[in-house]
Structure 1
Amino acid sequence: MTYLPQDGFPLSEIPGAYAAEIGDTVVVRADTETLTWTALHRDSNRVARGLLAAGATTGRIVSLLLPNSTDLVLAVFACYKAGATPQVLSTRMRPAELDAVLELADPAVVVTEPGSTLADRPKAVTKAMAKAVTLDDLRRRQPDDDLEPAVATSWKAPTSGGSTGRPKIILSGRPAVTSSFDTDMWGIEAGAQALITAPLHHNAPFVTALSTIFLGGSVTLLTRFDAERTLSAIDDHGVDWVYLVPTMMRRIVALPDEVRGRYTLASLRSVWHCAEPCPVWLKRKWIEWLGPERVRELYGGTEAEAGCTLGGDEWLEHVGSVGRVTWGEMKLLDPDGAEITEPGASGEIYMRVTPGTDATYRYIGAEPTVRDGWSSLGDMGRFDADGYLYLLDRRSDMITVGGVNVYPAEIEAALVEHEQVMTAVVIGLPDGDTGNRLHAIVHTPEWADVTADDIRGFLDGRLSRYKLPKSIELVHDSLRDAAGKVRRSELRAQRLGEPTHAGQPGREQP
């Protein structure tokens, strides 16, 4: 490959540029399906023409209700060629949340799977039915010749905030042109072989998959996460870059040694994780297994104003940290808005872009929390003397117990240190004496023989007494929904007997 687009190159022209150079090379694979650069270029031309005929225009969003697949990547590039902004949505999104998102997005077109129906959905979704089409509908009778170059006003429009009941769209401030920002931030090199293990309706998997493609690389998409399949895919396709979240990391190291030993992982250059805190014991296991130079972490919001990255070697010197600020600016503020500069002192994390830099995002359906040009995502944290950031919790998740502020994340981090705990969520339940009592919901595998007393004994000595949960509930079902979110407010409502759309609570052991 001799061609590499420079910053500012239209994303709509990416498939054609690489098709001319490496047309027979696979650009994306998912299960048994593969898509070459030539097929991506020609078929996205046809779909783009269909989108234009259906009403897609520059500045409009096209909503993609498609799972991880070669068709999803094809649809994304068809959006770019039509000048539209792709918005990837979960096919398992709850009706009310999908309704709210589509009402905010007002998409020009909604692309769905064959056989999918939105007819039983609420108001905005029903309205969107008139715009719902499949890829086959769009490509039918359309020529595959090239279109005039187009540039969407925003290159992505991920959604967030569904756990509050008020979803928002985070419209990227960057138009649909190439930029070295994301590839540099994630350490993605030209021609990389990337494995994306999570759905592309999440921001980080979308960004890393597309960034790999922008640099002429090849992406393997998992349609469903499987621990051993992840390892076999690395060896089968010579993968050098992998995206994981800690829950996946836990399931991989839980494989028997003889299963993990079947795979060399010789091609693997780096494993990146983000999205949720990684237990110390788990990170140590990965570093011991792969070596610190291959285990990397990123902390930042979809808004991308600022963020931190961290290599395994740095983590060993600053255990528990998420790294130093590597783009944009961050600072801590106390509740009165005064800056906190003392190492080890906690405060709310505020961010901003480097002065003189363009805005990185715009909300649709929400307003940012801003103080004097600095914005907050609601996270709490502290910096050490070397400038490494340690996360504490989200401001909104704080629980006041007997007048003392308790951050659930600290307790949850201690709980998942237990090797038979998959996930843990700590909520506050009403208490006549202290106002709230701490209640831990703990997800353990069905084969686990751990009891609530075992968990309680494990926590003893790891946490101050006022941080110990008063009750522990063991469940065998995931605490995350189809979108990968922990809906803390809904879990609490279940335990209070309030109506929700989720399942039944597990068993409480006081």
Structure 2
Amino acid sequence: MHQHGIGAWVAKRRLTSPDRVALIHGEGSTVTYAQFADAVDRVGAVLREHGVGVGDAVAYLGENSPEFLEVMFAAARLGAVFVPVNTRLAPPEIGYLLADCDARVLVHDPEFAASVATALPAARVRQVVVTGEGTPDRPGLAALVREADPERTGRADPGLADPAAIVYTSGTTGRAKGAVLTHGNLTWVALNCVVDYDVVSTDVALMISPLFHVASLGMGALPVILKGATMVVERGFEPGRALARIARHGVTMLSGVPTTYQLLADHPAWASTDLSTLAKLTCGGSAVPTRILDAYEARGLSFSQGYGMTEASPGATALPPALTRAKQGSVGLPHFFTDVRITGPTGAVLPAGAVGEIEVAGPNVFPGYHGLPAATAEAFTPDGWFRSGDLGHLDADGCLYVTGRLKDMIISGGENIYPAELELLLGEIDGVVSAAVIGVPDDRWGEVPWAIVTVREGAAVDTDAVRAYLDGRIARYKLPKNVVIVDELPRTASGKVRKAELRARFAG
């Protein structure tokens, strides 16, 4: 084997640890690494029969499952590009993504058939495959895999610089941008996790966060497979079931956002569940509130908190559990193979304590956005550092503190919401003259979007009307939780909305 890409990992695990359990799913079904590798070979044969070759995009719309991982690794072995699609997107958003990446094949779970049917006219997808058995006249992936010849998989030899995935991140201009992640990017982010989170082959990781999120994929699934550990694959997150899985399977690793951990601690089974095997908890999306730290520390548990972005595959920093209290509010130190710096408006590197833009460099940082050379050029400094668009500072010990967002991004329950996308659609509503979207603190979700609007005299615009208009056009988690009508929006001399004033007024 001469592959350098992630597609080689499963085949190598078949050689080195064939009998070790790779995946646990459903009510306890197990898949060894030998079985996993065989399934990847068969899925690869199916994809090849559907015309997939080097550079082709293979999109996947579905919940966490062995099939998700099989399609990803099969695509990688063929030199194709895997495109995970957020299951919470509305059909127009799905259609845009499929068209933008020029997906040759779309694999989707049956429950998304209606969304797919609505989305497909906007794209040029050549082949659509449903997971499961399908129907006699349209066999599903499970049926196709049984008939596939694993010897006909075919293998490419992608290098570390070749694209492995396109992961879409909402853009500040209102359109999602596809971040191209290379085999090298995904390899190095996995290595960062192995080093900084001390992932070992005896770990059992509970995957409750969606694999279509780059954090779950790059920092959850890939390090586990790289080390030959075991992953408990959950289709969705239900707190009581997750607690039962922890106790039943002796889970050692868990990843999530603050909301995830709060829901677990609030569940009636929390106090009685055996959590003695849990050793590694990672949390991202936003800072962990003190009340959650207290609840977990009372059970002898502590967190590794972190910061990142899709463009870094996504990890940039991690705060070791030993520093959770001493550096509370910090998102940690740069990952082992990653560098972070703070720069001022002129691009000069700032000293410790000075607030400026957070910039990231390292082999886990992406090469650019799919089909967007201008946006790619704008995203990097002349010396090759990625401009995060976030504001922060480093302390004397090198720990990073995030203090604001140049891009005004809202993080709600771990989901990124970009105001510009909402503002574009709000402007289409009859009666709305102008709109600004801000994040307002929320005990459950961290932040929720509020729309601050001015309206035409006599227009009937309220929260219900706005949500009804937007529902179906965007994912439901992006819907404004409140609509506030004001006489006018505060603006600068150049006409830009002063969102800091709005946040001080409504989110303070």
Q: Does 1:202 align with 2:213?
A: yes
Q: Give the counterpart of 2:284 among 274, 285, 295.
A: 274
Question: Which whole-Å CA distance do the structure 2 matches of 1:197 and 1:481 have between them?
Answer: 26
Cα deviation, 1:247-285, whole Å, max 9, x if unaligned, reads: 0111112234xx223222222121111122322332243
With over 3 angstroms needed to count, the CA separation of the structure-2 counterparts of 1:23 and 1:386, relative to structure 1, is closer
TM-superposed CA distance for 1:202, in Å, is: 0.1
With over 3 angstroms needed to count, the CA separation of the structure-2 counterparts of 1:289 and 1:509, relative to structure 1, is closer
**Which residue number in structure 2 is paired with residue 18 of structure 1?**
13
Q: Give the counterpart of 1:424 among 447, 459, 469.
A: 447
Q: Give the counterpart of 1:36 among 14, 32, 54.
A: 32
**Which residue number in structure 1 is paired with residue 325 of structure 2?**
316
**Which residue number in structure 1 is paired with residue 122 of structure 2?**
124
Question: Which whole-Å CA distance do the structure 1 matches of 2:472 and 2:319 have between them?
Answer: 28
TM-superposed CA distance for 1:382, in Å, is: 2.2
TM-superposed CA distance for 1:192, in Å, is: 2.1
- Return the TM-score normalized by structure 1: 0.73
With over 3 angstroms needed to count, the CA separation of the structure-2 counterparts of 1:123 and 1:154, relative to structure 1, is same
Cα deviation, 1:121-176, whole Å, max 9, x if unaligned, reads: 26433x32x32123246436321337454344323322111675311111113359
Q: 5+ residue gaps in structure 1?
A: 400-406, 433-440, 442-472, 474-479, 498-507
**Which residue number in structure 2 is paired with residue 157 of structure 1?**
166
AA of the residue aligned to 2:360: M
Q: Give the counterpart of 1:80 among 43, 55, 76.
A: 76
Question: Which whole-Å CA distance do the structure 2 matches of 1:113 and 1:85 have between them?
Answer: 19
Q: Does 1:391 align with 2:376?
A: no
AA of the residue aligned to 1:491: P
Q: What does 1:293-312 correspond to in 2, within 5 Å?
A: 295-304=303-312, 307-312=316-321
Q: Over aligned residue pairs, what C-alpha RMSD do you find?
A: 3.8
With over 3 angstroms needed to count, the CA separation of the structure-2 counterparts of 1:226 and 1:334, relative to structure 1, is same
| CA contact 1:58–1:151 (8 Å) conserved in 2 | no
With over 3 angstroms needed to count, the CA separation of the structure-2 counterparts of 1:278 and 1:173, relative to structure 1, is same
TM-superposed CA distance for 1:339, in Å, is: 3.8
With over 3 angstroms needed to count, the CA separation of the structure-2 counterparts of 1:385 and 1:509, relative to structure 1, is closer
| CA contact 1:11–1:178 (8 Å) conserved in 2 | yes
Identity of aligned residues (%): 23
Question: Which whole-Å CA distance do the structure 1 matches of 2:187 and 2:453 have between them?
Answer: 51
Q: Name the SS of the counterpart of 1:386 in structure 2.
A: coil
AA of the residue aligned to 2:275: L
With over 3 angstroms needed to count, the CA separation of the structure-2 counterparts of 1:291 and 1:140, relative to structure 1, is closer
Q: What does 1:123-202 correspond to in 2, within 5 Å?
A: 123-125=121-123, 127-128=124-125, 130-134=126-130, 135-136=141-142, 138-139=144-145, 141-145=147-151, 147-152=153-158, 153-161=162-170, 165-175=174-184, 180-202=191-213
**Which residue number in structure 1 is paired with residue 107 of structure 2?**
111
**Which residue number in structure 2 is paired with residue 219 of structure 1?**
231
With over 3 angstroms needed to count, the CA separation of the structure-2 counterparts of 1:375 and 1:57, relative to structure 1, is same
- Return the TM-score normalized by structure 2: 0.73
Q: Does 1:372 align with 2:392?
A: no
Range 319-328 or range 304-313, more displaced: 304-313
Q: Name the SS of the counterpart of 1:209 in structure 2.
A: helix
Range 103-112 or range 115-124, more displaced: 115-124
With over 3 angstroms needed to count, the CA separation of the structure-2 counterparts of 1:167 and 1:330, relative to structure 1, is same
| CA contact 1:10–1:176 (8 Å) conserved in 2 | no
**Which residue number in structure 2 is paired with residue 446 of structure 1?**
none
With over 3 angstroms needed to count, the CA separation of the structure-2 counterparts of 1:196 and 1:163, relative to structure 1, is farther
**Which residue number in structure 1 is paired with residue 263 of structure 2?**
251
With over 3 angstroms needed to count, the CA separation of the structure-2 counterparts of 1:408 and 1:290, relative to structure 1, is farther
Question: Which whole-Å CA distance do the structure 1 matches of 2:195 and 2:203 have between them?
Answer: 13
Question: Which whole-Å CA distance do the structure 1 matches of 2:129 and 2:349 have between them?
Answer: 51
Q: Name the SS of the counterpart of 2:150 in structure 1.
A: coil
Give aligned pairs, total: 424
Cα deviation, 1:162-221, whole Å, max 9, x if unaligned, reads: 675311111113359855344324432224211111110000111211220222111112
| CA contact 1:10–1:149 (8 Å) conserved in 2 | no
